[in-house]
Amino acid sequence: MIKKPISPEIRQQLIYAQREEITEYHIYSKLAGQSSDAENKKVLNQIAADELRHYKMWGTYTNKEVSPSQWEIWKYYWISKLFGLTFGLKLMEKGEAKAQINYGLIATEVPEALNVAEDENKHEKELIGLIQEEHLKYMGSIVLGLNDALVEILGTLAGLTFALQNTKLVALAGIITGIAGALSMSSSEYLSNKAEGKEDLAIKSAVFTGIAYIIAVIFLVAPFLIFTSVYVALLAALFDSILIVFLFTYYISVANDQPFRKRFTEMVILSTVVGLISFGLGYVVRILFGIEV
């Protein structure tokens, strides 16, 4: 059915909205086709159907067929495949493209726009919340592994930097401490879950904790194997720790709808303070024991 004529400004907004809707229809459909989880497939197909319905409704006003953005389809498909459905889709829903669609303005001439806005803001977000991903169940274990490694290993490296004054020795000590720490944290996480009666989660929680710990260790120790100056290596390790905190905090802030700034600031301050204290302790130990390497 052809609707009554609309103003050029509103028509341009609708064409822009059409492009977003048909693009997201293809993204959701593509991800649904690749999903091996029956429930996730059902949710993705449902959202895709909503996007296609919105696209067709806008088309009754614009009388125009709009092509999807192949770049957006490729980008969000691979982000979702690499970093998880929840992260990829929530990132897409938070995107600037959505924010540029002025539903209030469109509603002045197209009353259905308010219903679409409600779908976008509530219904689809609720549906995305139904998507099940195993790694999100173990986010607490990942946080535990990363946080403990950043505090423990960065502190160790900072203390040894001044005490030993040798990048290779610091790296060796960091690797040994890191492996021992990863095994210790993994076993502690395993025993903790067993003690709480969560036997079905114990092994996987331990594995996620250990992997997160080892990843942090690799990033922190690597500068001491690359640079010859212990102080440059320590600064690079500090930069790496901030980068890890930034990336991971951003990930969980999107995937779990948590505040980014507060969590990021807390983790950076904690890691930095521990590093400075350990650096000072390394200086004291070097002076007291007269260590020369």
Can you give the pLDDT at residue 29?
92
Residues 275, 280, 283, CA angle at the centre, nearest 5°?
130
Is residue 289 very low, low, confident or very high in pLDDT (cuts 50, 70, 90)? low
78-87: long-range contacts, CB 8 A cutoff, minimum separation 24: 80/27, 80/31, 81/31, 81/34, 83/251, 84/133, 84/135, 84/136, 84/255, 85/31, 85/35, 85/40, 85/44, 85/131, 85/133, 86/128, 86/131, 86/133, 86/136, 86/255, 87/251, 87/254, 87/255
pLDDT of 140 above 80: no
Share of residues in the chain with pLDDT > 70 (%): 81
pLDDT of 293 above 50: no
Is residue 274 very low, low, confident or very high in pLDDT (cuts 50, 70, 90)? low
Can you give the pLDDT at residue 6?
79
Can you give the pLDDT at residue 193?
76
Q: Say which range, 105-114, 123-132, 181-190, has the weakest mean pLDDT.
A: 123-132
pLDDT of 231 above 90: no
From CA 152, how far away is CA 179, in angstroms rounded?
12
pLDDT of 74 above 90: yes
CB count within 10 Å of CB 214 equals 19
Helices and strands, counts by H and E, the chain: 14, 0
SS3 100: coil
pLDDT of 33 above 80: yes
From CA 252, how far away is CA 254, in angstroms rounded?
5
Average pLDDT over residues 150-167: 78
Can you give the pLDDT at residue 271?
67
From CA 160, how far away is CA 230, in angstroms rounded?
10
pTM of the full structure: 0.70
pLDDT of 143 above 90: no
